[in-house]
């Protein structure tokens, strides 16, 4: 139904394997895959921004013909292709050896966003990169996963800051011809079209495929000319603020996504909902079973027993709630196809604590036998939040488990750290078993000066990258020199560097470090022990309060009293994130507890030996051991919480962090600091990896859900927690 044989027609037959390789993101987390493209055309690789599809489209036929006859290049090419082909054999994976036959049991993973690589900019933040890391790790483990999401052709915000510090931006159109993404075609060679009849007139979906190693990711596109003009824009942008448009998106993602898998002939045993956005997939799975002759109750039970739901947010406003009038408008003609009454349907999505609308999280909670939060603390918060769905049991027995998030180690570890230093001291096969804590104990064998020099080189690369971006901004847009100065051109590679980079939201408190300007100025401008702060991140286009916080940070970066030691780096993206998590000295995270569900950015930094200075919330409660960074309890009194928490951060900087960093021996190394770096790596590597996470999901949920498909039902291990699909009014 799709192919790549028509791609790169100028590619010599000897190099035909580059077609599949370029369109499979395997290369994005395998250095040898990137190296073969770099060896093919170093300048083209740089100019394409590390996008092999774009590079090959632009390459001259004669240059490719020359490469096809170059013995040096061909040796590397053949070796890489052999490794790639061996990797793509799913029967050799962990899942097949330990769980079930991967060819018989597929998991369908639905998410509103995926962060995979900057060549595919249709992500918003942490949720998307968590989903992307998960797909990659499932591929590495041979977990038979298929992903479903949106293709958002206009959904990526390119951030620009006005002279007064206000975030403005333009949505970047995805250049599909030069991206590792392919449209699915039908048997006649036309774009595959899938009908979603819930809306009137019906919507027709086209489908794009991204190959993520062995994992297939299918992305929905509503821009088909078969649709009415007002329906073509449903998939344009991520997380629209218009509630009706968001409902339409979630109908298309859930119901349309299931119909796409049916059209592709993909049979799956388990449905995994990543957040509540795709939860309507449950209804379409039920409808399919009702259509085959099952009663609604039996169909709902079968779907319930094979559905996993992951919730990511403890912030009440983060859970979508739609009015019953709006739900009636879109589902009135659909519900009879399920043999489901309007009242029963509404009860499925009713939150007893706030029954005024259809709550997508309540609906997903009731529809899934397996529910989880994304850290231990988040599990406690989530059980408290949703206790009303199971009022007959004690709060601690509410049937919501947790699987703490993790990050994909091959994607986020610096290549020089992983391929050189860890290969030497942990053994060349360390990556094959990187979820085993004993392997990481060998980090202590790395000489202090080796790790110290490596990190200093990473910091120099980060600052060089920031200066390069500032220079390009000045050259390309003629920006005010003051704005250029604020973006990091005065950063000092020898100064202790703090990093705060994440989505700007009020609960994340991006301005907390700016609470006491006088005290902060004294810390930053110490002539013998200077400190500098790099800020980066985007505010949601519709979030005016967060834009104001960003403006405060940006204006601080322009303030001469800080001597250029506060920088705001514009247009935070995946590529800049790589430089930041490798290159800053301390990762700062100061949310209002307990509103940080997990916090994967800190995992990426600590994996690379960057200690975290954080409020004890989310994953950091599990990770912090007193030796691998710094933890702050958080003030209990809400009336002056920000002032107290900021003071606690200043105290740690003045009394512990700054003195430790600058306590350098005659050999030029801060041995005390390196000791903390080693502890961060040893803790994060095995315990907060996507590998550990994917295995937990499989053993806790997928394995039981697969068993339910074979045995015909799942029985909760939580005694006394009755599964009530319809809730109580």
**pLDDT tens figures, 80-109:** 999 999 999 888 899 999 999 999 999 999
Angle, to 10 degrees, between the axis of helix 448-477 and the axis of helix 671-687? 80
Mean pLDDT, the chain, integer: 92
Burial of 649 (0-12, 13-18, 19+ CB in 10 A): buried
Question: pLDDT band for position 475 (50/70/90)?
Answer: confident
Residues 644-670, mean pLDDT to the nearest whole number: 97
Q: What percent of the chain has a predicted confidence (pLDDT) above 90?
A: 81
pLDDT of residue 727: 54
- Map out the domains of the chain as residue ranges: 13-88, 92-405+698-711, 410-688
Sign of CA dihedral 251, 252, 255, 257: negative
Cβ(204)–Cβ(193) under 8 Å?
A: yes
pLDDT of residue 21: 97
**pLDDT tens figures, 256-288:** 999 999 999 999 999 999 999 999 999 999 999
pLDDT of residue 324: 96
- In this structure, CATH architecture of domain 92-405+698-711: 3-Layer(aba) Sandwich (3.40)
Question: pLDDT band for position 722 (50/70/90)?
Answer: low
Cβ(296)–Cβ(336) under 8 Å?
A: no
Cβ(180)–Cβ(27) under 8 Å?
A: no
**pLDDT tens figures, 519-561:** 999 999 999 999 999 999 998 877 899 999 999 999 999 999 9
**pLDDT tens figures, 177-227:** 999 999 999 999 999 999 998 888 899 999 999 999 999 999 999 999 999
The CATH code of the domain at 410-688 is: 3.40.50.2000
> DSSP secondary-structure letter at 618?
T
**pLDDT tens figures, 433-464:** 999 999 999 999 999 999 999 999 999 999 99
> d(Cα 96, Cα 91) in Å, to the nearest integer?
6
Evaluate if residue 316 carries a pLDDT over 60: yes
pLDDT of residue 483: 78
Evaluate if residue 237 carries a pLDDT over 90: no
Q: What percent of the chain has a predicted confidence (pLDDT) above 70?
A: 96
Burial of 477 (0-12, 13-18, 19+ CB in 10 A): exposed
Evaluate if residue 714 carries a pLDDT over 60: no
Cβ(175)–Cβ(260) under 8 Å?
A: no
Residues 337-359, mean pLDDT to the nearest whole number: 94
pLDDT of residue 199: 84
**pLDDT tens figures, 25-78:** 999 999 999 999 999 999 999 999 999 999 999 999 999 999 999 999 999 999
Question: pLDDT band for position 315 (50/70/90)?
Answer: confident
> d(Cα 132, Cα 407) in Å, to the nearest integer?
10
> d(Cα 499, Cα 487) in Å, to the nearest integer?
14
> d(Cα 632, Cα 615) in Å, to the nearest integer?
5
Tell me, yes or no, if the pTM score tops 0.75: yes
pLDDT of residue 207: 97
Evaluate if residue 720 carries a pLDDT over 70: no
What's the CA angle centered on 30, arms 257 and 2, to 5 degrees? Answer: 35
> d(Cα 449, Cα 195) in Å, to the nearest integer?
61
Distance of CA 639 to the CA centre of its chain: 34
**pLDDT tens figures, 127-176:** 999 999 999 999 999 999 999 999 987 766 788 888 888 988 767 778 88
Residues 490-519, mean pLDDT to the nearest whole number: 95
Residue 480: phi, psi to the nearest 5? -55, 130
> d(Cα 313, Cα 44) in Å, to the nearest integer?
41
> d(Cα 46, Cα 476) in Å, to the nearest integer?
18
Q: Which long-range contacts (CB under 8 A, 24 or more apart) does 6-15 make?
A: 7/53, 8/56, 8/57, 10/59, 10/61, 10/64, 11/56, 11/64, 12/64, 12/65, 12/67, 12/68, 14/68, 14/69, 14/74, 15/64, 15/67, 15/68, 15/77
**Residue owning tokens 């020199």:** 481
Angle, to 10 degrees, between the axis of helix 448-477 and the axis of helix 574-583? 140
Measured between alpha carbons, how far is residue 219 from residues 134, 196, 256, 397, 616 in Å? 16, 15, 11, 37, 37
Evaluate if residue 726 carries a pLDDT over 70: no
Q: Say if 92-405+698-711 and 410-688 have the same CATH topology.
A: yes
Residue 286 in tokens: 């039920």
């Amino acid at each position: 139904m799709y192919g790549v044989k028509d791609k790169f027609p100028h590619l010599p037959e000897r190099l035909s394997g580059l077609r599949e390789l370029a369109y499979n993101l395997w290369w994005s987390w395998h250095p040898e895959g990137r190296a073969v493209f770099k060896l093919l055309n170093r300048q083209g690789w740089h100019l394409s921004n590390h996008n092999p599809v774009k590079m090959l489209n632009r390459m001259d036929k004669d240059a490719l013909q020359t490469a096809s006859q170059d013995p040096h290049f061909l040796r590397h090419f053949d070796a890489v292709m052999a490794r790639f082909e061996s990797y793509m054999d799913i029967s050799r994976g962990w899942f097949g050896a330990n769980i079930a036959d991967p060819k018989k049991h597929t998991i369908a993973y639905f998410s509103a966003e995926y962060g995979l690589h900057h060549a595919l900019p249709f992500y918003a933040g942490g949720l998307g990169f968590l989903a992307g890391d998960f797909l990659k790790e499932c591929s590495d483990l041979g977990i038979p996963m298929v992903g479903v999401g949106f293709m958002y052709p206009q959904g990526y915000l390119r951030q620009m800051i006005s002279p007064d510090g206000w975030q403005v931006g333009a949505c970047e159109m995805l250049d599909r011809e030069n991206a590792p993404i392919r449209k699915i075609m039908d048997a006649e060679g036309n774009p595959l079209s899938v009908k979603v009849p819930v809306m009137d007139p019906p919507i027709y979906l086209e489908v794009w495929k991204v190959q993520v190693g062995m994992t297939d990711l299918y992305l929905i596109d509503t821009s088909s000319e078969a649709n009415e003009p007002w329906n073509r824009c449903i998939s344009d942008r991520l997380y629209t603020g218009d509630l009706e448009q968001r409902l339409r998106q979630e109908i298309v993602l859930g119901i349309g996504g299931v119909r796409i898998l049916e059209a592709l002939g993909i049979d799956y045993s388990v449905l995994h909902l990543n957040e509540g956005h795709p939860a309507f997939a449950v209804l379409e799975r039920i409808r399919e079973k009702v259509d085959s002759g099952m009663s609604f109750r039996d169909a709902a039970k079968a779907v319930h027993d094979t559905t996993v739901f992951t919730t990511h947010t403890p912030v009440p406003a983060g859970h979508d709630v739609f009015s019953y009038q709006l739900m009636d408008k879109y589902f009135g003609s659909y519900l009879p196809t399920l043999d489901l009454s309007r009242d029963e349907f509404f009860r499925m999505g009713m939150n007893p604590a706030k029954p005024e609308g259809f709550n997508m999280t309540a609906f997903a909670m009731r529809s899934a036998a397996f529910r989880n939060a994304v850290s231990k603390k988040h599990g406690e918060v989530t059980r408290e939040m949703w206790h009303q769905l199971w009022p007959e049991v004690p709060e601690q027995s509410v049937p919501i488990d947790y699987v703490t998030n993790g990050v994909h180690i091959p994607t986020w570890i610096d290549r020089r750290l992983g391929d050189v230093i860890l290969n030497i001291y942990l053994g060349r096969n360390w990556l094959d078993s990187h979820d085993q804590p004993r392997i990481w104990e060998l980090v202590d064998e790395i000489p202090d000066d080796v790790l110290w020099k490596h990190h200093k080189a990473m910091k120099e690369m980060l600052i060089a990258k920031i200066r390069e971006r500032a220079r390009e901004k000045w050259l390309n847009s003629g920006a005010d020199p003051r704005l250029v100065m604020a973006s990091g051109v005065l950063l000092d590679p020898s100064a202790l560097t703090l990093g705060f980079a994440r989505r700007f939201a009020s609960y994340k408190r991006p301005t907390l470090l700016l609470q006491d300007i006088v005290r902060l100025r004294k810390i930053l401008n110490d002539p013998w022990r200077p400190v500098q702060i790099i800020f980066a991140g985007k505010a949601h286009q519709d979030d005016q309060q967060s834009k104001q916080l960003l403006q405060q940070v940006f204006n601080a970066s322009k303030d001469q009293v800080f001597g250029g030691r506060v920088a705001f780096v514009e247009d935070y993206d995946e590529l800049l994130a790589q430089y930041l998590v490798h290159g800053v000295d301390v990762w700062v995270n100061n949310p209002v507890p307990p509103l940080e569900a997990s916090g994967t950015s800190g995992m990426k930094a600590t994996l690379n030996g960057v200690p975290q200075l954080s409020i004890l919330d989310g994953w950091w409660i599990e990770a912090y051991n007193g030796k691998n960074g710094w933890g702050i309890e958080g003030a209990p009194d809400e009336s002056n919480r920000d002032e107290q928490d900021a003071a606690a951060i200043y105290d740690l900087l003045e009394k512990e962090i700054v003195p430790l960093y600058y306590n350098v021996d005659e050999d030029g190394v801060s041995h005390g600091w390196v000791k903390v770096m080693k502890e961060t790596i040893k803790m994060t590597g095995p315990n907060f990896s996507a590998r550990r996470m994917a295995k937990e999901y499989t053993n806790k949920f997928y394995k039981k859900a697969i068993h339910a498909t074979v045995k015909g039902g799942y029985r909760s291990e939580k005694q006394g927690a009755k599964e009530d699909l319809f809730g109580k009014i």
